[in-house]
């Protein structure tokens, strides 16, 4: 039975190293056979918004998309998306809106929970 890691991400893609840390943790855990979940809340939902083009910085959208294809399970706070005016069609495929109930279910099923944010 594989272990489960859940990452809670609540910061924007370019305000700190949190997005990069989440990506690296998810890559390493998936490579070791872990089940990996990521729940983005607050400004963390911007990591999954299509159309961002920051110069000279890694693109979390591209990297998270590749990880979703490798098995990363992603859920985004639906209320946070609404507050920020982000429509579902502007999100990375495979990163659906969720709820705090969804977050609780992920936490409950996890062996390890990591929170990256403020």
- Residue pair 74/95 in contact (Cβ under 8 Å)? The answer is yes
What is the b/e burial string over 45-77, where b = at least 16 CB atoms within 10 angstroms of the residue's CB? bbbbbeebeeeeeeebbebbbebbeeebbbbbb
Kindly report the pTM of this predicted structure: 0.94
- Per the structure, the complete domain to which residue 85 belongs is given by 4-116
CATH code of 94's domain: 3.40.1260.10
Helical H segments across 32-118, by residue range? 60-69, 78-83, 100-109
pLDDT for residue 75: 98
Number of domains in the chain: 1
How far is residue 47 CA from its own chain's centroid? 7
Q: So what's the pLDDT on residue 1? A: 72
Within the chain, which residues score under 70 in pLDDT? none
Please give the pLDDT value at position 42.
96
Q: What pLDDT is recorded for position 43?
A: 95
């Amino acid at each position: 039975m594989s272990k489960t890691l859940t990452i809670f991400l609540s910061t924007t893609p370019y305000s700190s190293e949190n997005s990069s840390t989440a990506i690296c943790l998810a890559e390493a855990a998936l490579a070791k056979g872990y089940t990996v979940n990521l729940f983005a809340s607050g400004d963390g939902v911007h990591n999954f918004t299509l159309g961002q083009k920051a110069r000279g910085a890694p693109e979390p959208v591209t990297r998270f998309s590749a990880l979703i294809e490798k098995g990363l399970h992603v859920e985004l706070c639906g209320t946070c998306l609404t507050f920020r005016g982000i429509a579902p069609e502007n999100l990375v495929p495979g990163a659906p809106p969720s709820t705090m109930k969804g977050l609780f279910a992920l936490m409950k099923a996890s062996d390890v929970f990591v929170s990256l944010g403020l």
